[in-house]
Amino acid sequence: MAEKKDFIYVVLAIGIVLLIALIVKPAMTGELAIPRRGGDPTPGPVVPTWTYSPLPTAPPTIPTPPPTPTPVPTWDGRPQKIGFVDPATYHIPPEESRPDVTTPRPPAAPGPTKWVTFATIDGRGSGATGIIRVPSPLWRLDYSDITTRNYEITRFNCQVMDAADPNRFVHIITLNAPDFRGMKDKPEMKKEQWTKTFYEGNHDYYFIINALCIDAYHVKIQVPEEYIGA
């Protein structure tokens, strides 16, 4: 009976040794043997495959030629008339009341300036003019030639507007009945005082006129004499 037990122990010991030798040790060292069928090739190392794709190229850029500036015709020295247009052109409702806005007066230009009339606005009623370009950096608005026979409720209002920015009031001129009464018998003073000099120019403007009980007005846009032909 003792010999039979010894034999069993020997068989178990041999089985444990084989198990360690064939499975446990290769598994620990990474050399676990995987049975293959006959004729299967021995797997070799895996080599990554690289595929070359060319980078996309941008289409050639064709330079855009600069726009050709539109030549500005020279002024021949003769006054041009500024006509009236539909106020809806500037999105102005009829009979719209606008606030008086004035700009501070800069220092006077050195030396006397001889003014020549560049354009005129002639009429007797209210309206909005077309756009005109003032060709000088300094110009004057002469509104001294306004006639009326009513000195009680007469009124004249001229709004100088920036054509590039309709929300900008360049200047607003307003004459009421007391102004006309005060200048009734003073034509020379009226010619001297009823003017406005603008220290800006080379720009596009239009004018909105509101007239009440005015017989006629002759408003002049004037530029310095040296700009004739500019």
Q: Each residue of 40-78: pLDDT tens digit?
A: 555 555 555 555 556 566 666 666 665 554 455 566 667
Q: Enter the CATH code of domain 80-227.
A: 2.60.120
More confident residue, 52 or 163: 163
The chain-wide mean pLDDT, for the chain, equals 77
Q: Would you list the domain boundaries of the chain?
A: 1-30, 80-227
Read off the pLDDT of residues 63-116 as tens digits, 9 standing for 90 and up.
Answer: 666 555 445 556 666 777 777 777 666 666 555 444 444 444 444 455 568 999
State yes or no: pLDDT of 140 exceeds 90: yes
| Whole-number percent of the chain with pLDDT over 90 | 47
Q: Which residues pair with 81 in a beta bridge?
A: 120
User: What's the confidence (pLDDT) of residue 99?
Assistant: 43
- The one-letter code for the residue type at 46 is V
Shortest CA distance to 210 belongs to which of 147, 160, 155? 155
Residues 6+ apart with CB under 8 A from 126: 209, 210, 211
Structure tokens at 30: 């990474």
- Token pair of 162 as six digits: 């920036």
Nearest C-alpha neighbor of 160 from the set 123, 192, 204:
204
